[in-house]
Amino acid sequence: DEAFSKMTRTKWASFSQDVGDHSAYVGDISERLSKQFGPVASHLSKIHYRFFCDKFVQAFVARFIAEIYKCGKISEQGAQQLLLDTALIKTTLLEAPVIAGKGRPMQTAYSNYVLREMGRAETMLKVLSSPDVVDASAVSALLGSDGASPEAAAE
């Protein structure tokens, strides 16, 4: 929750820093994921660990997209920084369960889900990084929300 609070407290509408290294909240998320997957993997059987990972990533990605919506207006540079951050989080989601599982590969369905759903977030941020779009809610139709609220699109 603290990492997501850092994300939403950032003034993305007036973000004018050079896009470069990841944001502070990304480091927090990556660290927590890396630390938490290990103990879970050691206490669950292989099949239960995979089930846990599937359910966790579904909840995490939905929450991450909802937090992007909470950011409201996002500048071009802000969207580019969020896009970089999203790519790093996607990599962490793909690697952390494998590392914690002592090299046991995850099922293809897990990887496909992470790639597809984080790809939705990346697509939204790519649209936001164009000069004519400044509000995250303006791209909810692109995510297949069928006119529903941005929160519904994130679920």
Cα–Cα–Cα angle for 114, 64, 1, nearest 5°?
125
**pLDDT tens-digit readout, 68-127:** 888 888 888 888 889 999 999 999 999 988 888 787 788 889 999 999 999 999 998 888
Q: Please give the DSSP secondary-structure letter assigned to residue 71.
A: T
CA distance 68 to 89: 13
C-alpha pair distances (Å), 52 with each of 37, 74, 96: 10, 33, 13
Q: State the residue for tokens 């609070």.
A: 5
- What count of other Cβ atoms lies within 10 Å of the Cβ of residue 17? 9
Query: What predicted TM-score, i.e. pTM, was given to this entire model?
Result: 0.79
Mean pLDDT of 27-51: 89
Q: Which residues contact 83 (CB under 8 A, 6 or more apart)?
A: 122, 125, 126, 129
Contacts of 144 (CB under 8 A, 6+ apart): 153
Sequence spans of domains, the chain? 2-12+20-154
Average pLDDT over residues 24-50: 89
